Amino acid sequence: VTNGGKTTLSEKLKKMLPNCDIISQDDFFKPESEVETDERGFKLYDVLDALYMDEMVKSIHNWMNSHTCSAVVTEEPQNTCDSVKNTEDVFILIVEGFLLYNYEPLNELWNRRYFLTLPYEECKRRRSTRVYQPADTPGYFDGHVWPMYLKYKNELEENTSNIVYLDGTKPQEELLSCVYSDIIQELKKLRE
């Protein structure tokens, strides 16, 4: 969900985890001139077509290839070097964004999936405190942002499994502790 705490959680995890990098979906938005506008005049940023998703996938693959001994925790480890189990050389990539699980080419890459949720009122309140470039136009949240969130959330619930849902209204430290503990448990399993 927009303004759910994805970037904050990712940045805090990066500081706590060894050899950790972040790729943010926000870095792959198309320029405003390439983003479609609907009949109401809303720029359609909350859709996959507003992003260079192929470039994002390439960036993730490039990161993975540059860490050939990467042991990013998986339910079914792939391309994991045997020596990782006996060393501390584990590399972790956090990919954060709002439409990650709705883009099929990425779904084969995920090892762990977390989804932050917020109720409508809290999401709208947080969104109103942020400054976007270009700025949200009046009615944009109700007319585009929230409907697209509901649409994509319903799609992922129908088509995606193994998602850990996190309540974005909980204190940041509680969310951080939950995800960090989960990752540490997975790392321990990997080393066994």
- Report, as residue numbers or ranges, the catalytic residues: 26
- Report, in angstroms and rounded to the nearest whole number, the Rg of the chain calculated over CA atoms: 18
Q: Which two tokens stand for residue 82?
A: 């045997």
CA distance 150 to 127: 16
Task: Tell me how far the alpha carbon of residue 127 is from its chain's centroid.
Answer: 18
**Which residues lie closer than 8 Å to 22 by C-beta, 6 or more apart?**
10, 11, 14, 93, 94, 95, 96
**Which residues lie closer than 8 Å to 102 by C-beta, 6 or more apart?**
48, 152, 155, 156
* Positive/negative CA dihedral, 68, 69, 75, 78: positive
